[in-house]
Copies of this chain bind each other. A is one copy, B any other.
């Protein structure tokens, strides 16, 4: 593991060195360290780049780390990671990604993750993305996440991308069985000439299933963001989607939610609000002694918390 990877690991996974428990560290498209445990098996795929993570039924309280790091320019990493979560398991998956460029060439990481949750399985999926380095080469991260939640299962996905990623196209697709729940909390901040696209699509197929998609974003500089979320209510189910965006400078944000009720017992709600920080909020903090910039930073910090 090189020094840049060590730094990136700390940024994306709060790790100093290798973690205890199950992990797989990916560095520039190669495996830089792996450990399985009694209940969590990590195996290389034989047909394409990537790993299978197999969590035994009833595994409780364990965390799997699968950070991916790109440490220099001109890397185009593509990886397929599949998670099989056994019935009644309850685990955390930490899947950060850091891209460091030092030259003029673009580097990108494309992570294609699939989750298959068994009956009553619970997963907390934490994904932090960051771009660093002094290179002028673009830092690109395109995550694709597919989630299949079985009866009574629950997946919460917390994603954060608040610095240094020049371009991102985030696709998340969910298919929910009976009484399954999906909660997605996304936080995005873009600056300069960065672009970010988010595409959620959830099929509520199981009776009693529910989805809650919450996006909070800040667009600074001349950055551009597009948020799309599509919820299909195909049975007795409930869906909620919310997009709150703060725009600053010349930032541009589009919010394009789509609700479709294909069943009389589907209850679907969407809310979106786009605007700048309210002047009163800034003035209030300035009367407490902050400069205008500090006040703005404080408000954004609170908004993305």
Contacts and interface: CB of A to CB of B under 8 A. Distances in A.
Interface in A80-109: none
Interface stretch (A71-79, A246-254, A289-297): A246-254
B274 A248 contact: no
Contacts of A270: 255, 257, 270-273
A276 B272 contact: no
Contacts of A32: none
A272 B268 CA distance: 8
Interface stretch (A13-21, A197-205, A258-266): A258-266
A247 B252 CA distance: 35
A261 B245 contact: yes
A271 to B, nearest CB: 5
Contacts of A247: 261, 264, 266
Main secondary structure of the interface of A (DSSP, over half): strand
Q: How many copies of this chain does the complex contain?
A: 2
A94 B245 CA distance: 39
Given A254-B258, A255-B258, A256-B258, A273 B264 contact: no
Interface residues of A, number: 31
A267 interface: yes
Interface in A221-254: 233, 245, 247-254
A49 interface: no
Contact of A261 (B253, B265, B268, B269): B253
Contact of A260 (B254, B259, B264, B273): B254
Given A256-B257, A257-B256, A268 B274 contact: yes
A33 interface: no
A274 B261 contact: yes
Interface in A190-221: none
B264 A268 contact: no
A269 B245 CA distance: 10
A267 B275 contact: yes
5 contacts: A248-B264, A252-B262, A254-B260, A255-B260, A261-B275
Given A245-B261, A257-B272, A266-B275, 15 more contacts: A233-B274, A248-B264, A255-B257, A255-B258, A255-B260, A255-B268, A255-B270, A256-B257, A261-B274, A267-B273, A267-B276, A268-B272, A268-B274, A269-B272, A269-B274
Give 9 nearest A-B pairs by CB, closest first.
A267-B275, A254-B260, A261-B274, A270-B272, A256-B258, A268-B274, A255-B259, A269-B273, A264-B276
